[in-house]
Amino acid sequence: MDKFSLKGKTAVLTGAARGLGLVFADVLASAGANIAVLDVGDPGSSLDEIATKHSVKTAFYRTDVTSRAEVAAAVASIEETFGRVDINVNAAGIVKDEPFLSTSDTNIASTFAVNFTGSFLVAQACAQAMARQKAKDPENFAGSIVFIGSVASHVPTVVQNISVYCASKSAVRGLVKPLAMELAPHGIRVNSLSPGPMQTDMYRQVAAAEPAFARQVEKETMFGRVGQPEELKGAMLFLCSGASSWVTGQDLLVDGGASSWNYPAA
């Protein structure tokens, strides 16, 4: 039996219309999972391309993850359309560079609303769906919830003032162990994946405008470069599949060593 196979399973991902979330959707689909995406942005043809490439079913639900009502409606529709929820990956997130001494109430509220409350609400709705599936098939059901943390919640960087973002990601990681304990009787594992600096479209834009920023970020990893989004695929597939059936309550750092040494400061 291929423990990495997700054939017949349904994965619910937030923030997967683009960026790292879309990369996660692609790797889960490559293992056979059907994909349901919750996002406020339009994925364009991306999900159709994933469906065609991997011969899976995909669907998009325009959803504000900070709204309990919208999340509940989306997950209910997913259960009706796909018949089940097996996997939940919470990749929706925002970040704003703002010095602590002048951090605004708007930044605090919006960052925690999307990064923490959004992750909480979607995970809760998906866990409820998973518990229903477990009740139907108690011997075979195995669910997985993956929160997206950040190396920034482990170690700060000298080139960004993102205290609110760091705190929000620390709060997300704070959910992992208690939820792993609460949801284990329902056959659900709960973990987080904390990436280091990654070469996303957002990173490219900032690096082009501020070369000094990019040079410092590159210094902060042991390999002198930022990570490629594809380098997160193996870790995500591991956490979502039966290959990690004995792994729960953990944070998996995939950061090029950034959190493990005293890197050169600017």
In the predicted structure, residue 1 carries a pLDDT above the cut 70: no
* Domain assignment of residue 102, yes or no: yes
Q: Is the dihedral of CA 18, 177, 29, 63 positive or negative?
A: negative
Of 204, 193, 203, 223, nearest to 89 (Cα)? 193
* Domain assignment of residue 262, yes or no: no
- Check which CATH number belongs to the domain holding 110 and give it: 3.40.50.720
Q: Mean pLDDT score of the chain, rounded to an integer?
A: 96
Q: Taking the mean position of all CA atoms in its chain, how far away is CA 15?
A: 8
Worst-scoring range by mean pLDDT, 75-79, 158-162, 244-248? 158-162
Quote the domain boundaries for residue 37: 10-252
pTM: 0.97
* Domain assignment of residue 261, yes or no: no
In the predicted structure, residue 116 carries a pLDDT above the cut 90: yes
* Domain assignment of residue 117, yes or no: yes
The pLDDT of residue 62 = 98
- pLDDT confidence bin for 179, thresholds 50/70/90: very high
* Catalytic annotation, pick one of 61, 165, 203, 263: 165
In the predicted structure, residue 139 carries a pLDDT above the cut 70: yes
The pLDDT of residue 157 = 86
Beta strands 10-14 and 34-39: pairing type? Answer: parallel
pLDDT one-digit tens code per residue, 217-229? 999 999 999 999 9
- pLDDT confidence bin for 266, thresholds 50/70/90: low
pLDDT one-digit tens code per residue, 193-237? 999 999 998 889 888 998 998 999 999 999 999 999 999 999 999
* Domain assignment of residue 258, yes or no: no
Please give the Cα distance from 104 to 213 (Å, whole number): 23
Q: How many domains is the chain partitioned into structurally? A: 1
* Domain assignment of residue 41, yes or no: yes
Selected residue with higher pLDDT from 156 and 127: 127
* Domain assignment of residue 172, yes or no: yes
pLDDT one-digit tens code per residue, 27-47? 999 999 999 999 999 999 999
Catalytic status, residue 263: no
* Domain assignment of residue 61, yes or no: yes
The DSSP call for residue 227 is B
